[in-house]
Amino acid sequence: MNSFKNLKKTFLIAEIGNNHEGSYKNAIKLIDEAKVSGADAVKFQTFYTEDFINKLEAKRFAKLKSFELSKEDFRKLSIYSKKKGLKFISTPFDMGSAKFLSKLVDVFKISSGDNNFYELIKFCASFKKPLIISTGMLNFLEIKNILKLLDKIKFPRKKLAFLHCVSDYPVEDKEANLLSIKYLKDKLPVTIGYSDHVIGDESCIVAASFGAKIIEKHFTLKNNFSNFRDHLLSLNPKDMKKMVIKIRKVESMLGSYKKMISKNELKNFKLMRRSLYFTQDIHKGTILKKKHFKIVRPFKKFGPQDIKKFLGKKLKKNVKDSDIVTDRLI
């Protein structure tokens, strides 16, 4: 994947994150299930805990440390994902992880927690790979500042995507603010998507209907896998597959950004449109008035809007009740 420009379908990311809980075996299972579900990509998180969490935050530090996968694990996961036909994405949480991932990922992802960490953003951008940035905890001016930052270093806009995101876990329905997707699409000259933390799949379906070109949804083997927060707001394989099917259906419904008559509508045109017919037997030479016409189905020759051209004209031939109006008769 070289850019996000002209994506033919919504790019669906199964956000594995840390739901493997440090198990390479679980990570492989999650990739397998993501493929079966119909996802386009899997996304992990890569970090050295020492460069991510203060050691004095002992409980949090210990949990994240237990979730770390080794460099060799990530190398193998990247290869495995690509063999499965999935794009491999990861979020680096430190410079060392970003440098390591530069040879493994198809796309870099910047988390909402680090979207003000400009040094990390610029460092990831320096590898010239597509870059996704979640916009949780940012206002619009701050998002524009990131765009200016990347423009200044000449990072191609076609390789940049911003995802509407609300940084809460889980997000309440009333806080999802999905109209922001439309707002960002109207205001920014880059690809816009959605990173979801709402329980269920409804918000992702709405996001697709609003034109989100990238949708990221947390993914787990089981929602009760453990007490780790992310499992609750994730979709399990069965539900992820259902969501993918729904989004693909929404895409087919959206069609193209123009108003036209569809092929199937044309099949119904004559049956459903009305034409001008005579209301009674009328003799040749009669000056035609509105009472001489009825507007009924099916369509044959002239539609309702054409009646004005016949009013006050002289009939050239005798006609019978319900005869079609043609220009040869008038």
pLDDT (tens digit per residue) in 198-247: 999 999 999 999 999 999 999 999 999 999 999 999 999 999 999 999 99
Whether 257 shows a pLDDT value over 90: the answer reads no
| Token pair in block for residue 52 | 């991510």
Bridge partners (DSSP) listed for residue 294: 277
The phi and psi torsions of 314 (rounded to 5 degrees) equal -95, 135
Tell me the C-alpha distance between 2 and 130, whole Å: 7
Cα separation of 146 and 116, whole Å? 8
State how far Cα 326 lies from the chain centre: 50
* pLDDT at residue 98 tops 90: yes
Q: How far apart are CA 192 and CA 185, in angstroms?
A: 6
Q: What is the mean pLDDT of the chain?
A: 97
pLDDT at position 321 is 98
Instruction: Write phi, then psi, for 322 (nearest 5 degrees).
Output: 80, 5
What would the mean pLDDT of 16-26 be, rounded to a whole number? 98
* Separation of alpha carbons 169 and 179, rounded Å: 20
Residue 298 neighbours by CB distance under 10 Å = 12
Taking the C-alpha atoms of residue 213 and residue 149, their distance in angstroms, rounded to an integer, is 23
Task: Determine the distance from the C-alpha atom of residue 187 to the mean position of all C-alpha atoms in its chain, rounded to a whole number.
Answer: 17
Helix (H, G, I), strand (E, B) or coil at 161: strand
For the chain, the farthest-separated pair of C-alpha atoms sits apart, in whole angstroms, at 103
Residues 296-330 pLDDT 10s: 999 999 999 999 999 999 999 999 999 999 999 88
- CA-nearest of 190, 193, 170, 169 to 180 is 193
Q: Which amino acid appears at position 205 of this protein?
A: I
Q: What is the pLDDT of residues 66-84, one digit of tens each?
A: 999 999 999 999 999 999 9
Q: Is this model's pTM higher than 0.85 or not? A: yes
Q: What is the CA radius of gyration of the chain?
A: 30
**pLDDT value at residue 330:** 87
